[in-house]
Structure 1
Amino acid sequence: MNGAARWWLLSDLHLGVSDDDPRRPGAALPGFLRREVLAGAGTQRHVVFVGDTFELVGLAEDESLARLESILIQHLDTFRALDACAARGVQLHFVCGNHDVELARPSVAAHLSALLSPLEPTRVQVHPWFLHVPHVLVAEHGHQHHALHRIPEVLRSAINGTDQLNLPPLAAWNADPSSSRLSRAGAVARSCLASELAERRIREPEYDEMLQSESLRLALDEAALRDLARLSRFRTVSALPRAATRMVLAAAGHRIAGEVGPAAARRFARTLEEHGSGVAWYVSGHTHRALESALEGCTTRYINTGTWCSDVRGRGPDQLDHRSFPYALVDVDSNGAASGGLRYWRADGGSAAA
Structure 2
Amino acid sequence: MSRAARWRLLSDLHLNVSDDDPRHPGRVLAEFLRREVLADSDPGQHVVFVGDTFELVGLAEEESVARLESILARYPDAHRALAACAARGVQLHFVCGNHDVELARPSVAARLSALLSPAEPARVQVYPWFLHVPRVLVAEHGHQHHALHRLPEVLRSAVNGTDELHLPPLAAWHAHPSGSRLSRAGAVARACLASERAERRVRDVAYGELLQAESLRLELDGLAVRDLARLSRFRTVSALPVAATRMVLAAAGRSIASEEAPAAAGRFARTLETHGYGVAWYVSAHTHRALESALEGCPATRYINTGTWSSDVRGSGPDQSDRRTFPYAQVDVANDGTTSGGLRYWSPDSS
TM-score bucket (shorter structure)? over 0.9
- Residues 186-220 of structure 1, C-alpha deviations (whole Å, 9 max, x = no match): 00001001101111100111111000100000101
The 5-angstrom pairing of residues 1-354 of structure 1 reads: 4-247=4-247, 252=251, 254=253, 256=255, 258=257, 261-298=261-298, 299-349=300-350
Residues 258 and 194 of structure 1: CA distance in aligned 2, closer, same or farther (over 3 Å): farther
Specify the SS of the correspondent of 2:65.
Answer: helix
- The one-letter amino acid paired with 1:256 is S
Deviation at 1:314, TM superposition (A): 1.3
Is the 1:293–1:301 contact (alpha carbons within 8 Å) kept by the matching residues of 2?
A: yes
**CA deviation vs aligned residue, 1:204-237 (integer Å, no higher than 9, x gap):** 1111100010000010111000000000010100
CA deviation vs aligned residue, 1:98-128 (integer Å, no higher than 9, x gap): 0000000000000000001111110000000
**Cα deviations by residue, 1:289-325 (Å, 9 ceiling, x for unpaired):** 0000011221100000000001000111000001100
Deviation readout 1:238-275 (Å, 9 max, x if unpaired):
1112223444566x474636559431110000000000
2:79, 2:255 → 1: CA distance?
33
Q: Relative to 1, partners in 2 of residues 1:257 and 1:222: Cα closer, same or farther, differing over 3 Å?
A: same
1-structure distance, mates of 2:172, 2:254: 17
More moved, 275-284 vs 23-32: 23-32
Equivalent pairs, count: 347
Q: TM-score, normalised by structure 2?
A: 0.96
Provide closer, same or farther for how the CA distance between residues 142 and 77 of structure 1 changes in structure 2, counting only shifts above 3 A. Answer: same
Pairwise CA distance, 1:277: 0.2
Q: Distance in 2 between matches of 1:180 and 1:109?
A: 35
Greater mean alpha carbon deviation, residues 291-300 or residues 89-98: 291-300
Preserved CA contact (<8 Å) 1:144 1:232:
yes
Output the amino acid matched with 2:53.
T
- Whether the aligned pair in 2 keeps the contact of 1:116 and 1:124 (CA below 8 Å) is yes
TM-score (norm: length of structure 1) = 0.95
Which runs of 5 or more residues in structure 2 are unaligned?
Answer: none
User: Which one-letter code corresponds to 2:303 in the other structure?
Assistant: Y
- Partner Cα separation in structure 2 for residue 223 and residue 245 of structure 1: 36
Farther off after superposition, 45-54 or 291-300: 291-300
Q: Is the 8 A contact 2:261 2:293 kept in 1?
A: no
What's the secondary structure of 1:4's corresponding residue? strand
- Contact 2:95 2:130 (C-alpha < 8 Å) held by counterparts: yes
Q: Secondary structure at the match of 2:297?
A: coil
Q: How far apart are the structure 2 equivalents of 1:255 and 1:60?
A: 34
Structure 1 unaligned segments of length 5 or more: list them. none
> Quick one: distance in 2 between partners of 1:261 and 1:77?
35
CA separation of 1:212/1:125 partners in 2, compared to 1, >3 Å: closer, same or farther?
same
Paired residue type of 1:184? R
1:338 aligned partner, one-letter code = T
Distance 1:144 1:167 in 2: 13
Task: List 4+ stretches of structure 1 deviating above 4 A.
Answer: 247-250, 252-255, 257-260
- After superposition, the CA RMSD in angstroms is 1.4
